[in-house]
Chains A and B, each alone.
Chain A
Amino acid sequence: MFKFSKWAAAAAISLCVVHSAWAEEEKVLNVYNWSDYIASDTLERFTKLSGIKVNYDVYDSNEMVEAKLMAGRSGYDVVFPSAFPFVARQVKASIYQPLDITKLTNYGNLEEGVVNSLNKTDPEVMKHAIPYMIAGTGVGFNKGKVDEFAPGAPTDSWALLFDPQWSDKLKACGITLLDDPSEVFAAALVWLGKDPQSEDLDDLKAASAVIDRIRPNLRYFHSSSYINDLANGDICVAHGYGGDLIQSRDRAAEAKNGVDVHVYLPKEGAQVVVDVMAIPADAPHPDNAHKFIDFMMRADVVGPITEAVGYANAIKGTDQYVSAERRNDPVIYPSAETKSKFFTLPPKSQSYVRQMTREWTRLKTNQ
């Protein structure tokens, strides 16, 4: 027994020694992100600036990040999950460490509008994560057809979809909605000037009435068919995910079939997916991670990333680092005003989801 405790003491002391030797973090950072979700020179610039070598690993789903972080000791220092619902629920499981804002000298570069909309949904998220890239849900339309069937229609508003005045005219060339109740009802609610996060059943009824009125004008509810149909000119107005709508626009341009697809995020407010940067609670290099996140909040770093990946960012003053083509794209480079109207949706209560699904089924089956 005596011998054993002597051994234990020796081991404990040697552990202490090892630990103090590690107090100065080794110059390594392990990043876990989507493939190509940065600019080609981002990591190189960071290494040049800080002397920290970056290992960049990729994942194929938010769920994979969750599985690894939940199991613990993942070895990663910075991860890029989506804010809702992932980070919101992961924060509750304490798998992220709170950010040390004093170490983030560029914190002031964050756009207040985006920070406010995140805080409104869940203030805990902003304590543990910094918004990185933003992808909104918007509207894509065939410019030629809309000018022909509904001249003067407002091509910056949800009204193009929801206002019967326009939708009755556009019925002839085809309107589609996403097959996603929370997206559609939230869009109808912001168009009505109501809070999209509302769980009020009267609000749900009101949103449902909007869809009911335009139901006869809809070609279909689908979450991906519109990409091709819009590009081929089979439909003329589509409610869709920003990235998909841009893809549709690119296909039409590439196919040179005379279809001119335009995409916008409505001025009343667009639902967005926000990918954030966060540090796992057991990250081996938290100091380096803070340095990296701080670096990723510089306008001259984020600007080229927006340029490369085609997503909106949450940093002020990136104008001069983004090409005019990207800057004039209302989806990739929304105005500060549009950004301030962005909203995210927290997980809804069970009972509300049940009501929502019931309304949705009724609408889809046309009863």
Chain B
Amino acid sequence: MTRKVKLPGFVFTAMFFGYAFLYSPIVSLVIYSFNSSKLVTVWGGFSTKWYVELFHNDALINAAWQSLKVASLSATCAVILGTLASVALVRFGNFFGRSLMQGVLTAPLVMPEVLLGLTMLMLFVSMDQLIGWPDARGLLTISIAHITFAVAYVVVIVQSRLKTVDRSLEEAALDLGARPAKVFFVITLPLIAPALLSGWLLAFTLSLDDLVIASFTSGPGSTTLPMVVFSSVRLGVNPQINALASILLLVVVICVVLVGKAVKSGERKN
């Protein structure tokens, strides 16, 4: 099916440097995770001791675990809310307040993180004073804050996909007697599933590497991974962090490959 094309020299060189620019920092990060020296700039021989130490470093493992929990919770909620909002925006015509809703939903895309983090902190503190909830900030408040900005990204992705879905498919189902809820779950949802998946992954990634908003909205016992990484600048970044990053990278690569394969086989079926 696909034909092998010989790339012209210029394109090949540009591509080579482009990829080198993107990936050489990642490669060097992985290489230095096997460095036996504690200094990140000096190569002291091959060693896997940082991986061993990493598994004994409860603080770092805990933080990674917290981050994963927050990221999956907020990505899931953001996808649910974002999908509902997109359906309302795309399928419900020009209802009253539609442009306001669109604007408010996507505002976090352009809002500075510091501002969002600080307003969230203020909101949680004053809510605590007024209604006694949330009485302590922690994973829940971080997740709420992450959902707030992740919804914006999900809406953008799902909305554009939903616009391209052929309405006549849904109308045909309605004609054949399916109720709107059934149409949504059986027809619409499978059609926009790829957008949901990419929205989920994007929300997950954004949540995983967010530092600013999480710092503002965290409380006792809810340190996430980026906070530990940035906090270690005080005493110098430890190669354990390289080791942890390499493991995360490996997991991400495996996931992306699996998702890519699933999508490909899905396309073939269609």
Contact = CB atoms under 8 A, between A and B. Distances in A.
B128 A73 contact: yes
Contact of A75 (B44, B59, B137, B231): B137
Contact of B222 (A57, A250, A310): A57
Interface in B220-239: 220-223, 227-228, 230-236, 238
A36 B232 contact: yes
A69 B105 CA distance: 30
Nearest to A77: B220
Interface residues of B, number: 33
Interface in B198-233: 211, 215-216, 218-223, 227-228, 230-233
B220 A76 contact: yes
B220 A68 contact: no
Interface residues of A, number: 29
A251 B42 contact: yes
Contacts of B232: 34-36
Contacts of B227: 35, 57-60
B220 A30 contact: yes
A30 B118 contact: no
Most buried by B among A58, A67, A68, A251: A58
Given A34-B234, A75-B137, A251 B39 contact: yes
A55 B221 contact: yes
Contacts, number: 79
A254 interface: yes
Contacts of B140: none
B221 A57 contact: yes
> Which of B37, B125, B211, B220 has most A Cβ within 10 Å?
B220
Interface string A42-73: 00000000000001111110001001100111
Nearest to B44: A254
Given A35-B59, A247-B236, A251-B39, A58 B231 contact: yes
Contacts of A310: 235
B59 A59 contact: no
A75 B122 contact: no
A284 to B, nearest CB: 9
A340 interface: no
A311 to B, nearest CB: 9
Interface in B114-135: 118, 121-122, 125, 128-129
B59 A309 contact: no
Q: Interface centre among B228, B230, B234, by most A CB within 10 Å?
A: B234
B215 to A, nearest CB: 5
A34 B231 contact: yes
Nearest to B228: A35
A37 B220 contact: no
25 contacts: A30-B221, A34-B232, A34-B234, A35-B232, A36-B235, A37-B234, A55-B221, A56-B223, A57-B222, A58-B227, A58-B228, A59-B231, A60-B230, A60-B233, A64-B216, A67-B216, A68-B121, A71-B125, A72-B125, A74-B137, A75-B137, A75-B220, A247-B236, A251-B42, A255-B42
